[in-house]
Each structure stands twice: as C-alpha cells, then as structure tokens.
Structure 1
C-alpha cells in the first residue's frame, strides 16, 4: 500500500472517531451537571463492565472479519466470512443472555433488561463497522459513526434534561443510537444477502477463531491497565467516587484514541500488502499488542 493510501486510511479512521472524542469532551460536563455522583458512577460501572465483557462475548471476531474481507475478492468467501461471524456472535450472545439472567441480580441494582439490550447492541456494533471497512465503504463508515454520536448526544440531552430519566435516559439513548446505526448498515448494504446456511464454512470458522481468539488477551490487558481499578474504588468507596476517575479517564482515553488511529491505518496497510497469510497474521498481532 502506498504512503498516500496509508495516509488516506488513517485519515478516514481518524474522522470516524472524531465523534467519540466530541462525546467525551461535550457530554462529561453535561453529565456532571445533571447527574448525581451516584448516577454517573452507576453508568460508568455499566460501560466499564461492557468493555470488559466485549472481547469474550465477541471473541474479537470483528478483527477476523476485517482481515478476511480485505484479503479476498471472492464474493462467496465474503459471504462465508460474514455468515460465520454472525454464527459465532449469535451463539455467544445467547450464552451471554443466559449468564446475565443468572448472575446480574448480584451486580446490577436496576434497569437489568435495558442494560442487557445495551450490551447486546454494544457487542454487535463493532462487527457492522468492520464489515463496512472490509467491503470498502470508508465514507459510509464515517457517516455511521457521526450519526451514532450525534444521535446519542441529542437523545441524551432530551432524556436527561426534559424527561429527567437520568441513567435510564443515557442507556435508552445509547440503545436507540446503536439500533439505528446497525439497522442502517444492515439494510443499506443488504447484509442479509451475505448471510445463509449455504455459506457457512467450518474450516474457515476455525481459521477465523484461531486468528481472533488470541487477541482477547491483548484487549483484556488494556482494560485491566486502564479500568480494573474502578472495581476496587467501588468496593472501598462506593460508586460516587468514580466521578473523579471518569474525568481523569477522558485525557487517557483521548490520547489512546490518537495513538490507535495511526495503528488502524498501519493494520490496513499490513492487510493489503501481505501476500502470505501467516505473515499478515503475525504482523497484525504485533500491531495489536503494541
């Protein structure tokens, strides 16, 4: 991949993440003004837990999607990749739902069903974004990210300020924004045409899992370094002290985003340039772990 294409890919990813950065800076003062420390702490606990569960719930299959979609021009292989991905995620989400109903009462005080819906959509959203990147639609990737963040921002203000729903309003805002984004990608790109029993490939499924599962450790290690301490704060000081940690976390998350933008461009370059599958996997694993 040429330097110009690499720069273009990096720029595309950067623009797609601008909305996330805007939410961090715009909504946090908004949160602190309209939500109590208890409410903000509870919401942060929900989001932090979602980030911890995500790599296990998805098996990082979205990374396998990107790797195989970019590496293959065959439409049948693309259909097999997407079908396999939905198969993996469907099984895992069913298992997650069962575990959630069994154990959530010990960890979650309220809004259990709403939180479950939020978790399911939270895990599905990255899969659809990676499909967009894999089938070569960067502009739509940007559009979906901007739509999601804008809709979430507007609905959050509406539900918190006007309807006084607090944390419940934030969760509902997220659910609506995520649902809209997922459905838009699904129907606008006719993803349903890529899903079918006839496209399921056990051999490809095994290859995808061998590629994606080791990445769980990479993602989990980042979570433990940046977010695990929040659970100790909950235990010793209860939720209201998490407000301070969340404000400081904005700076950390922002710097992490900037670094990740460049790495995403590098990963695309590795996918596009490599000719040997083992070389591409190894190179990408290095990028993911740095």
Structure 2
C-alpha cells in the first residue's frame, strides 16, 4: 500500500466530508435571524429527522458499493453496481416517504405541532432522499480514489446550500419550507450533475442479481 497516497487521500476525503457538513453550522446565524424561535425549533427537529432518514433510505448500499467497486470494475460491471445501488436508494426513499405519510402522520403531528404535517413530511423526506443520493454518488469518487473530484463536489454543496437559503429565506420569505426546499435543490442538483459525469463514462445498468 502506498502510504503517501493513502495519507493524501485521507486528508482530501476529510476536507470533502467537512465541506458537506459545514453548511449546517454556517447557516445557524441565517436561520436564527430569519426564523422565529418556534420555526427554528421546528427546523432543527426536521434536520435531525433527515439525518435519521438518510440511514434508513441508504440501506447500507454506500458501504456495499465501496466494498465491491473494485471487483465489479474488473468485470466491467461498475455501471450496473452503481445503477442498482442508486435504484435501491430511490426505492428505499419512496417506501419511507409512503410509510411516514400512511402510518406515522399522527406521530409527526404530535411532534411538530402543525396542521401542515403532510407537506412537511414530503419536504423532509425529499430533502433526506436528495442528500442520501448525493452522498451515495459521491462514494464513486471515493471508491476510485478520485479524491480531488470528491473534494470539489463536496465543497460546492455548502456554497450552493447557503445561496439557496439566502434566496428562500431572505428574498422569498418561505421560512421552514424554504429551508427544506433549499436542501432538496442543492443536493438534488449536485446529485444530477455528478451522476451525469459518472454514468456518461461508465454507463448505467440495473441488475436484479446484485
């Protein structure tokens, strides 16, 4: 193992991972300035819920993809592995969204103390799914040891997220709903851009045998 390369990539991945999460801290002043105390508390609850949902939506596919990426690349099936794992993420997200609306609506209503609970559930699940898909597609760069691309893509997320929040909170005055929409747009756009870059090179496929 090339320890120098390992150390370099470890630093790059650490910087990229910090970049993905930096916006959460940088946005606190904006949230507290533009939201009421009750709305800020609601948003914090939803943001924590998003992180829990990401775990269930991912179904462990990111770890599995990184584990088997080299093997399937040697078989020229990396596109099938990535495509199948992305599909699992999407299906997991749709199942969790449906379950939240059908079975956990009352629970969410008691926690959030709002009558617009379905709207918040859909937006929260959408934010979780977009972030889950974004993190998953970025795992391709990690599996291929393309640390610079990982860092650049990860670093662009907080910049775009802050810009989107400025638009939705300060210009459009959309409140909590706007903060969630900013997450959906940010991570959704990043996922689409990276997916286009990756799948245009490796192709895309779905395999039920994986």
Q: TM-score range by the shorter chain?
A: 0.7 to 0.9
> Paired residue for 1:162?
171
Distance 2:5 2:130 in 1: 32
Q: Compute the displacement of 1:194 (Å).
A: 3.5
> Paired residue for 1:55?
55
> Paired residue for 2:196?
187
> Paired residue for 1:82?
82
> Paired residue for 2:155?
146
SS at match of 1:164: coil
Cα–Cα, structure 1 residues 131 and 179, in superposed 2: closer, same or farther, change >3 Å?
A: same
Distance 1:192 1:174 in 2: 27
Alpha-carbon deviations, 1:46-101, whole Å to 9, x = none?
A: 12112222222221110111111145541523233213313422332332232122
Contact 1:82 1:194 (C-alpha < 8 Å) held by counterparts: no
Q: Compute the displacement of 1:27 (Å).
A: 1.6
Cα–Cα, structure 1 residues 128 and 20, in superposed 2: closer, same or farther, change >3 Å?
A: closer
Distance 2:17 2:130 in 1: 18
* Pairing of 1:270-285 with structure 2 (within 5 A): none
Contact 2:134 2:191 (C-alpha < 8 Å) held by counterparts: yes
Distance 1:23 1:86 in 2: 25
Contact 1:160 1:169 (C-alpha < 8 Å) held by counterparts: yes
Contact 1:19 1:150 (C-alpha < 8 Å) held by counterparts: no
TM-score (norm 1): 0.62
Aligned pair count? Answer: 201
Contact 1:50 1:119 (C-alpha < 8 Å) held by counterparts: yes
Q: Compute the displacement of 1:163 (Å).
A: 1.7
Distance 2:61 2:156 in 1: 24
Structure 2: unaligned runs, 5 residues or longer: none
Distance 1:135 1:40 in 2: 39
SS at match of 1:76: coil
Structure 1: unaligned runs, 5 residues or longer: 206-290
> Paired residue for 1:3?
3
Distance 1:193 1:19 in 2: 26
Distance 2:94 2:22 in 1: 33
Distance 1:191 1:133 in 2: 18
TM-score (norm 2): 0.84
Counterpart check, 1:131 vs 2:140 = yes
